[in-house]
Amino acid sequence: MFNTYKLKNGLRVVTEYIEHVNSISIGVMVQNGSRNEELNVNGISHFIEHMFFKGTEKRTSKEIVQEIENVGGQINAYTSKEATCYYIKSLNTHIDLAIDILSDMIINSKFDDEEIKKEQGVVIEEINMSEDSPEDVLDNNQAKAIFGENSLAYPILGSIENIKSFNSKKIKDFINSKYTPYNSVISICGKFDEKELIKKLEDAFGPWSGAEDYVPTYNTPILLSDSVYTNKQIEQLHINLALKGLPYGHDSAYALIMLNNILGGGASSILFQNVREELGLCYTIYSYSHPYLGVGLNNIYTGVSKQSAKKAIEVINKELKNFASKGISEEILAINKEKIKANYILGLESTSSRMFANAKNMLLQNKIKTQEEVINKINNINGDDINYVLDTCFKPGIISTAYVGQDIDYKELNNIIEPNIRAYDNSANESISRV
């Protein structure tokens, strides 16, 4: 059962009571991520996420995590392009402690200069680790290729140069402007006393204040037909092929999820069967969607040897065109409705999964989707929905590419897909226009 509230300071609260569990998941989600940043402070949202764990007026950094872990709980956080979330999962008997720690972090963090200096080293090592990961480099390349100068292209971790420039004043100024009760949500899922809970939240989070008129706004990017390649001394060529998608909350989102599942969502999917099982060209291949506010992407990922790259892209391109033109049968539609309903329901088996889903819906759409509503939307997918998504997302084909691998002629690979994709060599820092 869902309930929504608004505290006196404007902070939204969404709760979901589950009788049969003995746990509680609570998260504070803020509509702020790398998309909210200017280029000269890119990475500050993620850095701030780290700094909220580095000590408050009444707790050291060790005490923040130790107090929760000593009662068997878990505390963590993440930063994405559009949101940051701080969360705790514990036995429901420790809900008071969870609320106290999260509110203490959000309201009373010190941002001590000495701690900032230490954490700069930590985050720089995180960036170095990410740059050693071809999958992470590939994701950043794809964002650059399709979003260009838009802030959606900015890496969540930022740059080492920016990280070194952060200080207490810069961090506090950013938090004062971007962290407010009005663009944040508390989401709680599990077993609790509803009446007592709201009073506890009001007492704990009531002192949180911020600019009431701050509303996150974004420029909707134009999707670019570009390509970015990084030359890295690794065995495989990692490939990301981008298609048009649908923005977050779109009416046809579940039809897109279904079609992505059919194309590349599992071991029985078209791409897995044709590229891996029949031809043996790869170990992993899948398609997935990235919905953002106002814009969305579809992506196809695979990792192959240099020798197999051309054949793999030829097959992917061919299967994509066949899929877009032929569509799916009523039988396949019925089968895949059951698949995505099962995936959805299984994905909500834990209180933390439900807490995240409720927080994101409330944060970005200011409403909650009940399980019944989602199941009904899936059941009601029809031929018109399928055709709309095929026409909008799949028929235009691959519109941008990204590659990470050793000494690859990626321009030749782009010609297989579309001869007018512009190429950008991330290693040589050279831009090449293609006719």
Confidence check: pLDDT of 434 > 90: no
Give pLDDT, residue 420.
61
Q: Which domain holds residue 173?
A: 2-205
Same domain, 184 and 286: no
Is 90 exceeded by the pLDDT of residue 235?
A: yes
What is the tens place of the pLDDT at every residue in 124-174? 999 999 999 999 999 999 999 999 999 999 999 999 999 999 999 999 999
Mean pLDDT of all residues belonging to the chain: 93
**388's tokens:** 């709309």
Q: For residue 212, what pLDDT is reported? A: 67
Do residue 196 and residue 232 come from a single domain? Answer: no
Per-residue pLDDT of 236-269, as tens digits, reads: 999 999 999 999 999 999 999 999 999 999 999 9
Q: Are residues 233 and 187 in the same domain?
A: no
pLDDT tens by residue, 310-333: 999 999 999 999 999 999 999 999
Question: How high is the pLDDT of residue 307?
Answer: 95
pLDDT reading at 431 higher than 60: no
> What pLDDT, on the 0 to 100 scale, is given for residue 430?
35
Q: Is residue 271 part of a domain?
A: yes
Domain co-membership, 127 together with 257: no
Catalytic residues: 49
**The last residue of a domain, from among 135, 170, 205:** 205
The pLDDT-based confidence of 288 (bands split at 50, 70, 90) is very high
Percentage with pLDDT > 90 across the chain: 89
Residue 384 lies in a domain: yes
**Beta-bridge mates of residue 56:** 109
Average pLDDT over residues 63-89: 97
Domain boundary among 147, 175, 205: 205
Q: Is residue 215, in this structure, part of any structural domain at all?
A: no
What local confidence, expressed as pLDDT, does residue 71 receive? 97
Statement to judge: residues 199 and 246 lie in one domain:
no
Sheet containing strand 84-91, edge to edge, reads 2-6, 12-17, 184-190, 23-30, 84-91, 74-79
Split at pLDDT 50, 70, 90, the class of 425 is low
> Is the predicted pLDDT of residue 75 greater than 60, yes or no?
yes
Residues 182 and 279 in one domain: no
**What percent of the chain is predicted at pLDDT more than 70?**
96
> Both 260 and 374 in a single domain?
yes
pLDDT of 432 reads 30
Which whole number is the average pLDDT over 47-62?
96
Assess whether 191 and 264 both reside in one domain. Answer: no
Domain membership flag for residue 214: no
53 — phi, psi (to 5°)?
-100, 5
Residue 29: Cβ-neighbour burial (10 angstroms; 0-12, 13-18, 19+): buried
- Same domain, residue pair 201 and 59: yes
Is there a single domain that holds both residue 349 and residue 390?
A: yes
Q: What pLDDT sits at residue 209? A: 87
Same domain as 397, residue 255: yes
Q: Please state the domain count of the chain.
A: 2
Give ∠ CA 32-36-41 in degrees, rounded to 5: 110
Identify whether the C-beta of residue 225 lies closer than 8 Å to the C-beta of residue 67: no
CATH assignment of the domain containing 38: 3.30.830.10
The answer on 241 and 148 residing in a single domain is no
End-to-end CA distance of the chain: 57
Amino acid at 278: E
394-413 pLDDT, tens digit per residue, is 999 999 999 999 999 999 99
φ, ψ for residue 125, nearest 5 deg: -65, -35
Phi/psi class of residue 43: alpha, beta or left (left: φ > 0; alpha: ψ in -120 to 50)?
A: left
Residue 221 belongs to some domain of the structure = no
Check whether 335 has a pLDDT greater than 60: yes
pTM of the model: 0.93
295 occurs within a structural domain: yes
Q: Tell me the average pLDDT across 341-364.
A: 92
Kindly state whether residue 147 falls inside one of the protein's structural domains: yes
Please write the tens of the pLDDT for every residue from 187-215.
999 999 998 999 999 999 999 987 666 78
Residue 435 has pLDDT above 90, yes or no: no
219 within a domain of the structure (yes/no): no
